Amino acid sequence: MSTASRAKSPAQLFRHLSAKWPAAFNPKAPKPLKIGIHQDIRVLDGELSDDELRRALRAYTRMARYLARLDAGAARVDLDGKPAGEVSDADAATAKALLCARKDKQETKQMPEPSAEPEAPPKRKPKQTAVCCRWLDRNSR
């Protein structure tokens, strides 16, 4: 398989976008992106296929840091980092729900799984040992 035909990872695709538009694509300080930004990218950049662009934007907009910035009324930015709309209440609620679902999933993974079989009661001493111990107790007094 040649390098050209190998699928690019979302990280490689994101590096391409952040190199071209650093004001819009900053993974350390993500800003909510303009609705329909994929159309702007499509017009200005023909290097990425529709699938690659979709994967890159999905990976970026599903990052926990990005989702945490989606507060109702927060400014969305265009490719130049200029304000281009606001985050709606519905978008903010969806982002919070995704973050909560991830947190719940992580907490569930960290909890120990209940065992399929109930715990066995502690083993008792065999009767012979118990009798022997009583005999020793009586005779040692």
pLDDT of residue 1: 39
State how far the alpha carbon of 101 is from the alpha carbons of 96, 105, 130, in Å: 9, 6, 55
Tell me what the mean pLDDT of segment 17-23 comes to.
Answer: 93
**Beta carbons of 28 and 85 less than 8 angstroms apart:** no
86: which strand partners?
Answer: 75
pTM equals 0.67
Give the separation between CA 7 and CA 13, rounded to whole angstroms. Answer: 10
pLDDT per position as a tens digit, 38-83: 999 999 988 889 999 999 999 899 999 999 999 999 999 999 999 9
Q: Where are the alpha helices (DSSP H) in 45-116?
A: 50-61, 64-68, 89-110
Q: What tokens appear for 27 in the block?
A: 């993974």
Give the separation between CA 141 and CA 137, rounded to whole angstroms. Answer: 7
pLDDT at 111 over 60: yes
Domains of the chain: 10-104 (1.10.1710.10)
